[in-house]
């Protein structure tokens, strides 16, 4: 079994699916000869040819809109947008095009499309390269939104996304692209979408996160364990549609929740999770729902970005606050 990083797992999943399904094609800026600015498509063009790993002109609306047309013909495009900060020109096509075609035509046409993009901060990248705006996609009916927090999940969830008959926004937490390696069998086994993963069982408090901040969340859980606080840690993995039952079960057990997100706090995915809990499991709660999040500020440039992001200490502080609540 190869031992791979998260980004290598992304490549592996695309490679696998391109090998077994000739309708799968990859397109985007610099995905071909260059193998992607992060190298997510490294080697794919050499192996699958220029017709299936396509360097496009520089235009994100075009990449998305073109993909809608291709998908409507039964192809399965995997479109790469270079950074989430550059998805905005494509947003029109994603929302008014991709998300709606099946519904608009009562199922006559559909859009089996994956739009991949790296997101999040912490790598000292230039301006507009570090944002986390997954909540914008999560509000749009017709889309699915997925983000992996480990190489194995990247592989399994991306396979699921490619095979999904509907548009999936696949968000890659670039800060952890190369953080850890994992042994993964390249066996084409997909993971289920709309399913949370319980990464650590615990009794005192439920920590919910996704993507790169799973890393800090698990570290916080470790630290807290040393202090005698037992955390259950959930990786939601599919941001939309959310698997709330898994979270509800945990909340019933622990009665306390802290949600960790890198995105700006207001209107983030964490707010939706908190709202669902306050609607459906309010009476299980024995403490306020904590949200550790990026501030409601514009992601600062490199020199200050670490202050913006949820660090381990912010998580442990919040958990202690929630634990101390009475």
Partner 1 sequence: MPTVASFEVSYLQYLDENSQAVNDLPDFAKDTNLLTGLYKDMLFARTLDYRAMSLQRMGKMGTYPGTLGQEAVGVGSGSCLGDDDVLVPYYRGSNTMIQHGVKPHELLLYWGGDERGSDFKNPRVRQDFPIAVPIATQCLHAAGVATAMKARGQTGRAVLTEIGEGGTSEGEFYEALNVAGVWNLPLVCVINNNQWAISVPAEMQTACETFAQKGIAAGIESLQVDGNDVIAVKDAVGRAMEKARSGGGPTLIEAICYRLCDHTTADDASRYDDPEAREEAWAKEPLKRLGDYLVNLGAVTKKQLEEFEVEAKEAVEKEVEIYFDTILNNPQPVGAMFDYLYAELPEKTKAQREEVIARDLRAREGG
Ligand X SMILES: Cc1ncc(C[n+]2csc(CCOP(=O)(O)OP(=O)(O)O)c2C)c(N)n1
- Annotated catalytic sites, by residue? 129
Q: Which of 1, 73, 226, 324 binds partner 1 (CB under 8 A)?
A: 73
- 172 binds its own copies per the rule CB under 8 A: no
Which range of residues in 8-16, 81-89, 100-108, 176-184 is near ligand X by CB under 6 A? 81-89
Nearest distance from residue 119's CB to its own copies, in Å? 14
Please enumerate in sequence order all residues whose Cβ is within 8 A of that of 261, keeping only pairs 6 or more positions apart, or say none: 132, 209, 210, 213, 268, 269, 270, 291, 292, 293, 294, 310
Nearest to 268 by CA among 96, 158, 120, 115: 120
Distance CA 260, CA 279 (A): 20
Contacts (CB under 6 A) with ligand X, residues 21-40: 29
Where helices occur in 33-79 by DSSP H, the ranges are 44-48, 60-72
Which range of residues in 3-11, 13-21, 174-182, 239-247 is near partner 1 by CB under 8 A? 239-247
Q: Which of 66, 269, 315, 323 binds its own copies (CB under 8 A)?
A: 269
Q: Contacts with partner 1: how many residues (CB under 8 A)?
A: 82
- 161 binds partner 1 per the rule CB under 8 A: no
Where helices occur in the chain by DSSP H, the ranges are 6-20, 44-48, 60-72, 88-92, 101-104, 134-138, 151-163, 213-226, 244-254, 269-280, 305-308, 312-324
Q: Binding pattern to its own copies, positions 90-119, x when CB under 8 A? A: -xx--xx--xx--xx---------------
- Token pair 């592989």 is at which residue? 155
- Token pair 């996160």 is at which residue? 209
Q: Which of 125, 229, 240, 260 binds its own copies (CB under 8 A)?
A: 240
Q: Which of 11, 45, 56, 82 binds ligand X (CB under 6 A)?
A: 82
- 288 binds its own copies per the rule CB under 8 A: yes
Q: Which of 2, 3, 21, 34 binds partner 1 (CB under 8 A)?
A: 34
78 - beta bridge partners? 26, 114
Say whether 46 sits in a helix, a strand or coil. helix
Q: Which of 275, 313, 321, 325 binds partner 1 (CB under 8 A)?
A: 313
Nearer to ligand X, 69 or 89 (CB): 89
Distance CA 88, CA 187 (A): 35
Supply angle C-alpha 63, 172, 78, rounded to 5.
Answer: 35
C-alpha distances out from residue 150 to 41, 176, 177, Å: 18, 8, 9
- 104 binds partner 1 per the rule CB under 8 A: yes
Distance CA 116, CA 148 (A): 12
Contacts (CB under 8 A) with partner 1, residues 171-230: 194
Note the residues at the interface with its own copies (CB under 8 A): 61, 85, 88-89, 91-92, 95-96, 99-100, 103-104, 127-128, 133, 135-136, 138-142, 240-242, 263-264, 266-272, 274-280, 282-283, 285, 287-291, 295-298
């Amino acid at each position: 079994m190869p031992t791979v990083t998260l980004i290598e797992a992304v490549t592996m999943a695309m490679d696998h699916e391109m090998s077994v399904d000739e309708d799968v094609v990859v397109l985007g800026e610099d995905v071909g000869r260059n193998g992607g600015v992060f190298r997510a498509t490294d080697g794919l063009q050499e192996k699958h040819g220029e017709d299936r790993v396509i360097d496009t002109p520089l235009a994100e609306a075009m990449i998305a809109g073109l993909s809608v047309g291709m998908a409507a013909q039964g192809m399965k495009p995997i479109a790469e947008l270079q950074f989430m900060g550059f998805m905005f020109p494509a947003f029109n096509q994603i929302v008014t095009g991709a998300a709606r075609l099946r519904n608009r035509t009562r199922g006559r046409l559909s859009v089996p499309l994956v739009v991949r993009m790296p997101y999040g901060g912490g790598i000292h990248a230039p301006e507009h390269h570090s944002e986390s705006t997954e909540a914008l996609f999560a509000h749009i009916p017709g889309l699915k939104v997925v983000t992996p927090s480990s190489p194995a999940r990247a592989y399994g969830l991306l396979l699921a996304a490619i095979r999904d008959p509907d548009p999936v926004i696949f968000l890659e937490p670039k800060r952890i692209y190369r953080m850890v390696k994992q042994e993964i069998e390249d066996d084409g086994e997909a993971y289920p979408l709309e399913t949370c993963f319980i990464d650590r069982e615990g009794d005192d408090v439920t920590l919910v996160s996704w993507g790169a901040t799973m890393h800090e969340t698990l570290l916080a859980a470790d630290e807290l364990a040393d202090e005698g606080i037992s955390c259950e840690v959930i990786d939601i993995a599919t941001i939309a549609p959310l698997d709330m039952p898994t979270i509800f079960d945990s909340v019933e057990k622990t009665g306390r929740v802290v949600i960790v997100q890198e995105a700006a706090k207001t209107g983030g995915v964490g707010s939706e999770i908190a709202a669902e809990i306050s609607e459906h499991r309010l009476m299980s709660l024995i403490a306020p729902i904590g949200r550790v999040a990026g501030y409601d500020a514009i992601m600062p440039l490199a020199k200050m970005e670490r202050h913006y992001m949820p660090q381990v200490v912010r998580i442990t502080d919040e958990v202690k606050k929630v634990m101390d609540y009475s």
